[in-house]
A and B are shown apart, each in its own frame.
Chain A
């Protein structure tokens, strides 16, 4: 290993940590405001499939279409992909997602789940395509 390698590894790790560490602090503060429910936006092929509230009670959402089947489970203010019949199963490895901005993606089925904050915080009321 040369000196350049060590410099490079150090640089990459520092950049990655600079993004990861602030998230840990963020998590603590977001734990407190569970009184406002967040929603999960489920899109298939770029089109909105369903928007569900992330409740503490369990509920399952099945997404079935010509691409295949995905089963999502909502519990404890978060969402998780529990089953899918896609070839690579990468979507199952996303695990339990419960933070605003978190996403679950199933590439072969063109499915995306995105967690949105309680209110529209970004100041955009609507977008025109």
Chain B
């Protein structure tokens, strides 16, 4: 009985964390859209929501993080999207999720959060460009990929540094004590 309680408790905590992280990610995307940052590359953005995805991947199982990514994408689409922009963001989000999950799985000791978030950001760009490519039936859009790669490195470093500060701080909270790997 005691053990069953413990398990239910952990499952509950997981759900709570997923919900909080998804909410924070949505707020971060909103904040990001308010920053009038024109980096000279169309479609480039900071990717602050990636902070939450990466942190979630670190603490929880892959399927919880996937849930969080889907929730975040759906909520952002409801708030300021149209159906077509939802298709693009979900492609980007899924590409980025798979890439980061894979790297955390195989390369945890070779790459730090910075490297993983760079790959996540770049995968997000590639996912969106691929969606646009299929949608518009042209491969010319990949013209912008090299510039996006450079921006991806810069924003990836920023996001990675943020995660490196966020994870130790969250680890001190009692909510996360069952999930320290």
| A is bound by B | yes
Using a CB–CB cutoff of 8 Å, the interface residues on chain A facing chain B are: 1-5, 8-9, 12-13, 15-17, 19-20, 43, 46, 87-88, 90-91, 93-95, 101-103, 105, 107-108, 110, 112, 114
- The 8 Å CB contact of B143, one of A9, A13, A17, A103, is A103
Interface pairs A-B: 5 shortest CB-CB: A5-B115, A19-B146, A4-B110, A16-B149, A16-B146
Apart from A13-B153, A16-B146, A103-B140: 10 A-B pairs, beta carbons within 8 A: A2-B110, A2-B111, A5-B111, A12-B153, A16-B150, A20-B146, A105-B136, A107-B84, A114-B138, A114-B140
B146 pairs with A8, CB closer than 8 A = no
A8 pairs with B85, CB closer than 8 A = no
A105 pairs with B147, CB closer than 8 A = no
The interface on chain B, measured as residues whose beta carbon lies within 8 A of the other chain's beta carbons, has a size of 36
Give the complex CA separation of A91 and B40 in angstroms. Answer: 12
In this complex, what residue of A is CB-closest to B119? A8
Give the complex CA separation of A4 and B116 in angstroms. Answer: 10
Chain A residue numbers with a CB within 8 Å of B137 are 46
Closest CB in chain A relative to B132 CB, distance in Å: 7
Convert B133-171 into 0s and 1s, putting 1 for each residue whose CB lies closer than 8 angstroms to a CB of A: 000111011010111011011000100000000000000
In this complex, what residue of B is CB-closest to A99? B143
A13 pairs with B150, CB closer than 8 A = yes
Give the complex CA separation of A17 and B153 in angstroms. Answer: 13
Closest CB in chain B relative to A103 CB, distance in Å: 5
Chain B residue numbers with a CB within 8 Å of A1 are 112, 114-115
Closest CB in chain B relative to A48 CB, distance in Å: 12
Give the complex CA separation of A102 and B143 in angstroms. Answer: 8
A8 pairs with B82, CB closer than 8 A = no
Interface centre among B136, B138, B145, B152 (most CB of A within 10 A): B136
Convert B82-102 into 0s and 1s, putting 1 for each residue whose CB lies closer than 8 angstroms to a CB of A: 101100100000000000000
A95 pairs with B107, CB closer than 8 A = no
Chain A residue numbers with a CB within 8 Å of B69 are none
A4 pairs with B111, CB closer than 8 A = yes
A8 pairs with B38, CB closer than 8 A = no
In this complex, what residue of A is CB-closest to B36? A89
Interface centre among B114, B119, B152 (most CB of A within 10 A): B114
In this complex, what residue of A is CB-closest to B164? A1
In this complex, what residue of A is CB-closest to B111? A4
Interface centre among A5, A110, A114 (most CB of B within 10 A): A5
Chain A residue numbers with a CB within 8 Å of B157 are 9
